Chain A
Amino acid sequence: MVLPEWLAEPGLNHFLVVGAILFSLGLLAVISRRNIIMVLMGIELILNSANLNFVAFSRYGSLSLDGHMIALFVIIIAAAEAAVALAIVLNIYNRFGSVDVEQISELKD
């Protein structure tokens, strides 16, 4: 089969666009989802959109393997963050008996 011209030869911009979309989706999730777990998922999306950029840049851009390396680190960080976050969520659940962001708003002006 024949691919449309703009898809024929995938290049840096394609990846960047995908990354941007991922980022936006992640942000959207963080802002809109009421379940904290979902919010954390959104955060993962955001971080990985960055990873995608790094990898793309080192594939097409001037970066050598640095991009991949950075991506690895970021994934580790994301994992650590997720771990801590889940612990905290657990604690939240014990205190509030819910993981609904809306309800956890006792600290305010």
Chain B
Amino acid sequence: MAEHIIESIYRFLPEIALTVTLVAAIVADLVLKERNRNVSWVVLAGLGVTAVLVAGQSGWNVSIFSDMVAVDPFAVFFKAVLLAAGLLIVLFSMKSRELEHNSTRIGEYYMLITGVIFGMFLMVGATNLLLMYLAFELTSISSYVLAGFTKSLRKSAEASMKYIIFGAVSSGFLIYGISLLVGVTGAIDIYGVRDALQAGVEQTAALYVAVVMIIVGFSYKITVVPFHFWAPDVYEGAPVTITAFLATASKVAGFAMMIRFFRVSFMDSGALATHGFDGLAATLPWSMILAVLAAITMLAANLMALWQENIKRLLAYSSIAHAGFILMGLALATDEGISAMMIYLAIYLFMNLGAFYVVMLVANQLGTEAIADYQGLGHRSPFLGVSMAIFLVALAGFPPTAGFIAKVYIFGATISAGMIWLVAIAGLATVVSLFYYIRVVRNMFLVEPLESQGPVTFDSASILIMVLLLIPVLLLGVYFSPIVAWAKNAVTMFGT
């Protein structure tokens, strides 16, 4: 037993490192002066260490703390992605003007960020239903606070309020669903659930309700229509950095948890079918539910995005739409689909963060988030304009950007799984999405700036960060075998 604990702790080092970072952040906040800079450096360092530790975990495929957490390629992949997101967000935060106004409380800001990342690490690894829920709540609750971090602003306050109410209800759905699941299967971790399903379940109706409620719970996290309503408002109200964080990292984590849950307990066991209980059981159509939800999400989100006047809202809807595209992969119930999702998520992280970064810089310089104010930006600051154009084009899925690769793989997987109708809808949605992405590009380049609007410039650091984001978006567009190979191998989860 003891050595199991020891071993578990050893396997758990990255998470521990994060906790240490968290504490360090608090301390630094107390002792150091000129906080903003220094605390952020501390956090960066902590994340750096964590990154090293995570790198050390590659290839492991074990379960620790008596089947509480799995450390497997799948988890490692997502930890890496999340760390990338975390690092970038911290970098953003160092540049953000919004936060400077609250520099007195900046310590707790970074602390919370670290906390969220910790929660996400648990989310991607958790195999125990309770731990899943705890991790889920840990990230959520910290996010509620972060969303309202600039609390002096009405919109920020409102955002956090909506976020917490919607979030709490959804987590209520989740835990209630879990309670039913636990009840009907008598198991409290996903392996147990799988075995129970394979052994057969009597109360199928209860099982169905449970699954649907769990799906609802996840759907809120990954913003699937019609459980997405909080997203646009919260994204608009929250500080840009947090919006970016929510739109990318927390979505990634949510997907990771969802994938693991369905992959382990439902997928490779033709579970319900095998023991031939009554007809209902044979056909728990969870993948069809997801397919339909994905289709609705893609269409609705893209359509609603058409009319947005606020760039953050626009990106909010675009990220909802992307959630739809990604969800297709899970709906296929194939490992190919899952690997496609992972590729998509990794790439999506960079292009979306990039777009948000530009939004932040513009907000810093011009203090505006209105799309109308972007007119002539391409002329006023070619670098910024071109970068934004690249990110948007990537989001629209044009070659030779990484966005195209993401779409190719998710579409490809869908086609090879034979869901032609779904991929057709996806294609249609893509066309629609073009309208609003290109509209921003148009504003930036096809409209001349006014005489009054002079050129816009940035310090080299900001430019450096931008380049950091551009490189993967462009490079993965023309040479993507590494990410693909990694994603394909990372589909292996412990216990499958």
Q: Which A residues form the contact surface with B (CB < 8 A)?
A: 16, 19, 23, 26-27, 30, 36, 39-40, 43, 46-47, 49-51, 53-54, 56-57, 61-63, 66-67, 69-70, 73-74, 77, 80-81, 84-85, 87-89, 91-92, 94-96, 101, 104-109
- Can you name 27 A-B pairs with beta carbons within 8 Å? A16-B183, A26-B172, A43-B165, A46-B168, A46-B172, A47-B172, A47-B175, A50-B172, A53-B183, A54-B179, A56-B183, A63-B188, A70-B130, A74-B175, A77-B134, A77-B171, A81-B137, A81-B164, A81-B171, A84-B164, A85-B144, A87-B145, A91-B148, A91-B160, A104-B158, A106-B154, A107-B233
| Closest-CB distance, B314 to chain A (whole angstroms) | 11
Asked whether B158 lies within 8 Å of A106 as measured between CB atoms, the reply is yes
State in angstroms the CA–CA spacing of A23 and B178 once bound together: 14
Asked whether B151 lies within 8 Å of A107 as measured between CB atoms, the reply is no
How many chain B residues touch A (CB < 8 A): the figure is: 42
| Closest-CB distance, A53 to chain B (whole angstroms) | 4
Asked whether A80 lies within 8 Å of B141 as measured between CB atoms, the reply is yes
Contacts of B179 in A (CB 8 A): 19, 50-51, 53-54, 57, 70
Interface residues of B in 323-379 (CB under 8 A from A): none
Q: Is the interface of B mostly helix, strand, loop or mixed?
A: helix
Asked whether A57 lies within 8 Å of B161 as measured between CB atoms, the reply is no
Name the residue of chain B whose CB is nearest to the CB of A82.
Answer: B168
Contacts of B307 in A (CB 8 A): 109
| Closest-CB distance, B248 to chain A (whole angstroms) | 21
Asked whether B169 is an interface residue with its Cβ less than 8 Å from the other chain, the reply is yes
Asked whether B159 is an interface residue with its Cβ less than 8 Å from the other chain, the reply is yes
State in angstroms the CA–CA spacing of A91 and B161 once bound together: 9
Asked whether B162 is an interface residue with its Cβ less than 8 Å from the other chain, the reply is yes
Name the residue of chain A whose CB is nearest to the CB of B134.
Answer: A73
Name the residue of chain A whose CB is nearest to the CB of B152.
Answer: A95
Asked whether B169 lies within 8 Å of A43 as measured between CB atoms, the reply is yes
Contacts of B232 in A (CB 8 A): 107, 109
Partner of B157, one of A57, A96, A108: A96
Interface residues of B in 212-270 (CB under 8 A from A): 232-233, 236-237
- CB contact under 8 A between A62 and B157, given known A43-B169, A88-B148: no
Asked whether A88 lies within 8 Å of B157 as measured between CB atoms, the reply is yes
Contacts of A70 in B (CB 8 A): 130, 179, 182, 188
Contacts of B168 in A (CB 8 A): 40, 43, 46, 81, 85
Contacts of B137 in A (CB 8 A): 77, 80-81
Asked whether A88 lies within 8 Å of B188 as measured between CB atoms, the reply is no
Partner of A85, one of B134, B151, B155, B164: B164
Asked whether B183 lies within 8 Å of A107 as measured between CB atoms, the reply is no
Asked whether B399 is an interface residue with its Cβ less than 8 Å from the other chain, the reply is no
Contacts of A91 in B (CB 8 A): 148, 151, 157, 160
State in angstroms the CA–CA spacing of A51 and B476 once bound together: 47
Asked whether B186 is an interface residue with its Cβ less than 8 Å from the other chain, the reply is yes
| Closest-CB distance, B350 to chain A (whole angstroms) | 27
State in angstroms the CA–CA spacing of A46 and B426 once bound together: 36
Asked whether A109 lies within 8 Å of B304 as measured between CB atoms, the reply is yes
Asked whether A89 lies within 8 Å of B161 as measured between CB atoms, the reply is yes
| Closest-CB distance, B187 to chain A (whole angstroms) | 8
Asked whether A50 lies within 8 Å of B176 as measured between CB atoms, the reply is yes
Contacts of A19 in B (CB 8 A): 176, 179
Residue from A23, A54, A56 having most chain B Cβ neighbours under 10 A:
A54
| Closest-CB distance, B240 to chain A (whole angstroms) | 15
Asked whether A61 lies within 8 Å of B188 as measured between CB atoms, the reply is no
Contacts of B175 in A (CB 8 A): 47, 50, 74
Asked whether A53 lies within 8 Å of B180 as measured between CB atoms, the reply is yes
| Closest-CB distance, B22 to chain A (whole angstroms) | 16
Rank and list the top 8 A-B pairs by shortest CB-CB distance, nearest first: A62-B186, A46-B172, A53-B179, A107-B233, A57-B183, A50-B175, A50-B176, A43-B168
| Closest-CB distance, A38 to chain B (whole angstroms) | 11
Asked whether A61 lies within 8 Å of B183 as measured between CB atoms, the reply is yes
